[in-house]
Amino acid sequence: MLMHDPLTVTSHQHDPGEQGPAEDQAPPQGEDLAALLERLLHRAPDKTQKDLAIEAGVRYPTLNAWMNRTRGTSRIEPDTLRSLVEVFRRWDVPVTPAEMFKAASRPVPGRADEEREKRLLKLYRQLPEDRQRDLVRYAEASLRVSQVS
């Protein structure tokens, strides 16, 4: 009888008596975005990657590349990650923004007001100077109106 070296065996059989993981177990530590999205989509059996892409406002090829790990996640906009969270929540699939950000290897955002300020500053810096001045005037007028109300 031919005996195989156990170090060269490429697949291991599981004991048929082993129990699989519980359905509602905690998310695995170190779960990347692809694994998280796969797990969450599994909890919405009537939904597909394409449904998620459409509802989250992400191009399907981009979402598919994230799920196939052929495209990095380090430059995903925070709003896109939040949008994915919102879609899953609408589908009654619980997920937190912190889970989504960690899975994408992105820093979990701080308080919402700080994040809004960063976003506003980023947009402001991209505008030409004349539009920056217009934006400042608009903000000042908006402030005056809100103080009267």
Residue 24, pLDDT > 80, answer no
Average pLDDT rounded to a whole number, residues 89-111: 88
Positive or negative torsion for Cα 116, 118, 122, 128 = positive
CA angle centred on 28, ends 27 and 33, rounded to 5°: 85
Query: For residue range 28-75, what is the model confidence (pLDDT) as tens digits?
Result: 557 899 999 999 999 999 999 999 999 999 999 999 999 999 888 878
- pTM of this prediction exceeds 0.75: no
Second-level CATH architecture of 33-103: Orthogonal Bundle (1.10)
Spatial separation of the C-alpha atoms in residues 120 and 101, rounded to whole Å: 20
Instruction: Determine the pLDDT at residue 149.
Output: 67
Query: For residue range 117-131, what is the model confidence (pLDDT) as tens digits?
Result: 887 888 889 999 999
